Amino acid sequence: MLKVDNIFFQYGGRTILSDVSFSVKKGELFGIMGPNGSGKTTLLKLISGIYPCKSGEIYLKGKQIQNYKQKELAKIVAVLSQHAEESFSYQVKEVVALGRYAHQKNWLQSQSKEDQEIVQGAMEITGVSHLQDATIHELSGGEKQRVYLAQALAQQPEILLLDEPTNHLDLSHQKELLDNLKEWSKKNNLTVISIFHDLNLAGLYCDRLLMLHEGMAEAISSPQQVLQEKMVKKVYQTDVKQIPHPKLAAPQIALLPKIEHSGKQLIIDESYLTASKNHLAMTVPKPLKTLSSGVTGAGVGWYTNFVNRHVDKSYRCDDYQQEMRSYLRANHFIPEQTVGMMTAVYIEDAAYKSVVCKDLSVFIVVTAGVGNAVDAARAMDHSSELLPGTINIWIFVNGELSEEAYIQSVMTATEAKASVLRCQKIMDPITGTIATGTSTDSILIAATQEGARAEFAGTIAPLGKLIAAGVTECLTESLKKRNDRMKK
Ligand SMILES: Nc1ncnc2c1ncn2[C@@H]1O[C@H](COP(=O)(O)OP(=O)(O)OP(=O)(O)O)[C@@H](O)[C@H]1O
């Protein structure tokens, strides 16, 4: 559809674009990104034929762009640029109707029925039909943006060129506009080439991206390949982290603001632990980055409260998450800031311990009961009834953990747990084999993310050794407390 071949452009003697080559297929949504002044708008102006290239060629449907007559080009290409203030007070429907000019033989001729239908359709798609009798001056920035998009669509182009189309739009209108653009481009084989400042939106919606850097194409590829942490850091000269989107295979870029650390490092230990008959709670002064399988706060998040709640063995509740949130609220914990777990184990059987080695330390809390002990290798032999969790392990790390270290912490703690159960000869009552855990165990790994950094937490790594030792000791002690109480 469009081929940009080795273009070069200067303003005065200053080179703005050089050696830029790429092609865009019909129906593709192609994003152009790059820092301020990298040449994005200039590139769009060259593609729309506003400026000629100093060297290199741009081909549109196989024909060089400078060989198109202006009206002929306007039937193929529509441009939505950053709009300056309008000097005329046109009505919205008149502004949109201007998009039809390339299709009309005589501009003085009144609009045909077909033109009117197309104009109405374009206004419906962009959600501005209700504003059609208003004058453009009366509209907000976002409403104007949608009107100009309707005008571009009324042109029924084959290529739509957009300069930051989501500028001025609120969150829901950004999503609506880009959802619609994606849908139209697929349905009507409309090619969309758009400048984006918001890398995350570009990553979510574009089929391919071009990253411009000082007038050169730094990368042209899929969002997964272009939105790499290293690339974004290099081009934008800023600190970022690439994170996965929760629902789609689209990379997202998180900004890392400059953080002023208060001089004193937070060290989590038993001084933050409180116990009542009904729950064990940790409340810390700063949110901890937490990976957990809690009833509330499951997954990865930042939390300040950690609650292990005792429930009766007969506890049954269809909406146990809602019920847990109510419990937390009733006990003055904000559910959104709390990892909440349940256990049928008595709170007095909890065991906890700090384990320190050089500049790394962990604080571990375990509650353990083995009524639902299961040998994982024989889990298929068990029914799937969900009972309150019995071995709950909390691991607080005074340090900064990598992503690998979070996952390896879970593995190491689980291996230590299985080892303790083997040593204690805890049996799976159904299979008669040695248990490796219980049916609804829970775990959390929470780190201060300041101080010493731990890249790994396998059993050979310093952090892994602390976790293995702490879990082994706490689990053994908690089981002993339980046994001693049951003997009484
Ligand atoms: N008409 C002009 N005359 C001279 N220089 C210009 C002109 N238009 C743009 N420039 C310069 O060309 C460079 C690229 O501008 P361009 O508008 O293409 O960048 P951009 O990547 O779109 O930037 P932004 O993200 O800030 O919109 C900038 O340094 C700009 O100052």
List phi, psi (to 5°) of 36: -55, 135
Residue 14 CA to ligand 1 center (angstroms) comes to: 11
pLDDT bracket for residue 87 (50, 70, 90): low
Six-digit token pair at 264? Answer: 């004193």
Does the Cβ of 372 fall within 6 Å of ligand 1? no
Which residue do the tokens 């165990």 mark? 441
Q: Residue with the nearest Cα to atom 30 of ligand 1?
A: 37
Q: Give kind and range of the element (H or E) at residue 145.
A: helix 141-154
Given ligand 1 and candidates 38, 166, 196, which is best to mutate, with the most ligand atoms within 8 Å of its CB? 38
429 ligand 1 Cβ < 6 A? no
Q: 271-487, what's its fold? A: L-amino peptidase D-ALA esterase/amidase (3.60.70)
| Assigned architecture for domain 2-255 | 3-Layer(aba) Sandwich (3.40)
42 lines ligand 1 (CB under 6 A): yes
Q: Which residue has the higher pLDDT, 476 or 181?
A: 476
Q: Give the single-character DSSP code of 91.
A: B
Per-residue model confidence (pLDDT) at position 463:
98
Which two tokens mark 247? 């629902």
Span 429-445, pLDDT tens digits: 999 999 999 988 999 99
What's the pLDDT at 82?
A: 67
Token reading at 202: 């570009």
Note the pLDDT tens digit of each residue in 313-342. 888 888 999 999 999 999 999 999 999 999
Q: What is the pLDDT of residues 112-167, one digit of tens each?
A: 888 899 999 999 988 899 999 999 988 988 888 889 989 999 999 999 999 998 88
* Per-residue pLDDT reduced to its tens digit, 359-378: 999 999 999 988 888 999 99
**Phi/psi of residue 120, each to 5°?**
-65, -40
Contacts 24+ apart (CB under 8 A), 71-77: 71/102, 73/48, 73/49, 74/101, 74/102, 74/155, 75/102, 75/103, 75/155, 75/156, 75/157, 76/157, 76/158, 76/159, 77/47, 77/48, 77/49, 77/157, 77/158, 77/159, 77/160, 77/161
Position 387 confidence tier, pLDDT thresholds 50, 70, 90:
low
pLDDT of 109 strictly over 80: no
Pairing of β 14-24 and β 2-11: antiparallel
For the residues 168-193, what does the mean pLDDT come to? 88
Start and end residues for every CATH 3.40.50.300 domain found in the chain: 2-255
Alpha-carbon gap, residue 197 to 431, rounded angstroms: 59
CA of 10 to the centre of ligand 1 (A): 10
Phi first, then psi, for residue 151 (nearest 5°) are: -60, -45
> pTM, whole model, 2 decimals?
0.83
Residue tagged 């500049």 (tokens) = 359
Element (H, E) at 47: helix 40-47
For residue 266, pLDDT beyond 90: yes
Is the minimum distance from the CB of 38 to ligand 1 under 6 angstroms?
Answer: yes
Would the pLDDT of 108 be above 60? no
Domain with CATH 3.60.70 in the chain: 271-487
